[in-house]
């Protein structure tokens, strides 16, 4: 079972692996740069070499790189659209250089132009990116809570994007965020609801495409469309349901990554301990 957290890259980027190892992670997620700005710093060869050495030494895999927040492939603004595509290409190439297995992407906001337009813009951009990049990495589409004008809060949105990609489908998978699914209206709190949600996903997309799970409890109630994560077992989904999720046979091959609150230094360690305790596969 692969369980980890989103880890800081403060200092040298390879130090993120030390942090993950000290927390007991055997998988992890990072940003490869500042997620709130357009500027990037060059990845030094010696830092990349050390990153790959520690990844192998600690057996941390998959390593998942998350897209920066500022990129929006669904925007109707042509200038931001082109800038986002260029930045996306740069970021996914950085992830490939680091030897990451997966690149998680949010689906962006249509900014009032309509869901259909946003989905078409995103799909067109992603198709262009896949054709231009050969980083040996799988792009994971992340479902959203559906706040504001964000697309991706229904599984049908992901299905439409994958259909648009066509022959490049092997380059794409899914990262299922549990808090987002719950907040967007999928009742994964009950056994019947979880089974039904995964059955629906399987029918529309295929559960084999779920390569990672953002394993988060929710501070917001079911169907609220408010994206607020909570510690494992302390939110609206609850410990019993979170245990069912991490042990569900249809998710057995996915890497579980927690993006839970980090208000105290011990928060990640606490959530790792809870996840490992309720996970039946040691």
The catalytic residue positions are 36, 66, 69, 106, 142, 177, 180, 214, 227, 229, 259
Q: What is the DSSP string of 132-200?
A: H---S-EEEEEP----TTB--SSHHHHHHHHHHHGGGGGGEEEEEEHHHHHHTT---SSHHHHHHHHHH
Cα distance between residue 156 and residue 60, in whole Å: 32
- C-alpha distance across the termini of the chain, in Å: 7
Cα distance between residue 215 and residue 260, in whole Å: 8
* The two three-digit tokens of residue 189, written as one number: 């709190």
Cα distance between residue 102 and residue 163, in whole Å: 20
Cα distance between residue 84 and residue 54, in whole Å: 31
CA 152 to chain centre: 12
CA 13 to chain centre: 19
| Local structure of 275: helix, strand or coil | helix
Beta carbons within 8 Å of 134's beta carbon, 6+ residues apart: none
């Amino acid at each position: 079972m692969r369980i980890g957290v989103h880890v800081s890259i403060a200092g040298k980027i390879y130090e993120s692996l030390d942090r993950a190892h000290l927390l007991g992670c055997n998988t992890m997620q990072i940003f490869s740069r500042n997620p709130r700005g357009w500027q990037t710093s060059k990845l030094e060869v010696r830092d990349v070499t050390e990153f790959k050495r520690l990844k192998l030494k600690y057996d941390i895999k998959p390593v998942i790189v998350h897209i920066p927040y500022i990129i929006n492939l669904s925007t109707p603004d042509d200038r931001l659209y082109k800038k986002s595509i260029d930045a996306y290409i740069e970021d996914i190439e950085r992830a490939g250089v680091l030897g990451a297995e997966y690149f998680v992407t949010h689906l962006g906001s249509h900014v009032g132009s309509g869901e259909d337009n946003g989905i078409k813009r995103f799909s067109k951009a992603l198709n262009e990116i896949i054709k231009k990049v050969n980083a040996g990495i799988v792009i994971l589409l992340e479902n959203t809570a559906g706040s504001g004008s964000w697309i991706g809060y229904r599984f049908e949105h992901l299905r439409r994007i994958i259909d648009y990609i066509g022959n490049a489908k092997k380059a794409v998978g899914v990262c299922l965020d549990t808090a987002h699914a719950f907040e967007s209206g999928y009742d994964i709190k009950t056994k019947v609801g979880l089974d039904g949600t995964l059955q629906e996903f399987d029918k529309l997309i295929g559960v084999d495409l779920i390569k990672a799970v953002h394993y988060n409890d929710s501070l917001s109630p079911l169907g609220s469309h408010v994206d607020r994560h909570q510690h494992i077992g302390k939110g609206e989904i609850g410990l019993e349901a979170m245990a069912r999720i991490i042990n569900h046979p249809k998710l057995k091959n996915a890497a579980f990554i927690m993006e839970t609150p980090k208000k105290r230094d011990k928060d990640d360690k606490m959530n790792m301990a809870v996840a490992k305790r309720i996970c039946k596969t040691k």
